[in-house]
Amino acid sequence: MMREVFTTGVECDLGCQYCFASWGKYTPPLHIAKFSKSTASLVIPACDSEIQSFIYLLENNKFIFPNNTTGRIVITLSTKTILSEKTIMLLSDLNKLLKEQYNGFLKIGVSIPTISMAKELEPKAAPPLLRLKNLSLLKESGIIGYAIIKPILPFLPKNEFIDLSNILYNEGVKYVLIGQLYVDRNTPFFQKYIERKFEVKQRQVLWLPNKPVWDYVSDQDIEALLIQELENKSVKVFQSDIAFVNFLVNGN
Ligand code: SF4
């Protein structure tokens, strides 16, 4: 499955402190206007809260599907806001269109990396537990909904990950996408929470156009704990979006 990442290019104003999309060295992926020329089978507007600008494009008929694609089109969106009924209706129509005409589907992640520090780290996002209410509305509308614990914040107490997995299980979440924390040494976030406290490693970010090498932090113990807590409750955990889509398409 060929994967391309698109963005609407609209700046997000939710102000999450760990957001790499606000870094000076971040180069946005392809602009969504190029989507109509794409032969990608998997399309991901990159940013969490681009969901609203994506809806704007849909409402104003400015989102144009490739007219010669024979492949499957899967669209992934994610949010830290509370989706309105109107937004869910539009997304539901998009999901139906993808299913009927493009052998694909829409999936929407509710992003919830922390509960205890949400006010500090995600100042303008909806309260975490309210975000999860989106999931029942998405389910009623036939859209695949799931939770995202990404980035995994290594400075949270371990108990918070156990609490999070219990909350997600109690909300009926079936799928969780997890991921490590990219960091920029020049941000106040890095200096306050990461510097001299955690080992910083490097990896190439393959889904960005210039494939930059970025610093990241991962805590194997927390990841293992989170995976174990969720899998013990029969919640399926994915460490990459492409693995998640492959599972939904092929069942493995
Ligand atoms: S919602 Fe997403 S894109 Fe917006 S600031 Fe937060 S992490 Fe960044």
**Amino acid, single-letter form, for residue 3:** R
In ligand 1, which atom is closest to the CA atom of 22? 8
Distance in Å, CA 197 to ligand 1 centroid: 24
* Best-predicted range by mean pLDDT (38-42, 61-65, 231-235): 231-235
Distance in Å, CA 47 to ligand 1 centroid: 6
**HEC string of the chain?**
CCEEEEECCCCCCCCCCCCHHHCCCCCCCEEHHHHHHCCCCEEEECCHHHHHHHHHHHHCCCCCCCCCCCCCCEEEEEECCCCCHHHHHHHHHHHHHHHHHHCCEEEEEEECCCCCCHHHHCCCCCCHHHHCHHHHHHHHCCCEEEEEECCCCCCCCHHHHHHHHHHHHHCCCCEEEECCEEECCCCHHHHHHHCCCCCCEEEECCCCCCCCEEEEECCHHHHHHHHHHHHCCCCEEECCHHHHHHHHHHCC
Over residues 186-220, the pLDDT tens digits come to 999 999 999 999 999 999 998 888 899 999 999 99
In ligand 1, which atom is closest to the CA atom of 79? 1
Distance in Å, CA 78 to ligand 1 centroid: 10
Q: What is the mean pLDDT of residues 64-69?
A: 74
Is the model's pLDDT at 39 over the cut of 80? Answer: no
Q: What is the mean pLDDT of residues 91-106?
A: 93
In ligand 1, which atom is closest to the CA atom of 47? 3
- The pLDDT value given to residue 149: 97
Domain tally for the chain?
1
Q: With bands split at pLDDT 50, 70 and 90, how would you rate the model's confidence at 46? A: low
Q: With bands split at pLDDT 50, 70 and 90, how would you rate the model's confidence at 70? A: low
Distance in Å, CA 121 to ligand 1 centroid: 10
Is the model's pLDDT at 160 over the cut of 90? Answer: yes
CATH of the domain at 16: 3.80.30.10
Q: In angstroms, rounded to a whole number, what is the distance separating the alpha carbons of residues 104 and 99?
A: 5
- The pLDDT value given to residue 237: 98
Domain that holds residue 213: 3-250
Laid out side by side, the sheet with 144-149 consists of: 30-31, 3-7, 42-45, 74-79, 105-111, 144-149, 175-178, 236-238
In ligand 1, which atom is closest to the CA atom of 18? 7
Q: From atom 2 of ligand 1, which residue's Cα is the shortest distance away?
A: 48
Q: What is the mean pLDDT of residues 235-245?
A: 93
Phi/psi of residue 189, nearest 5 degrees: -60, -50
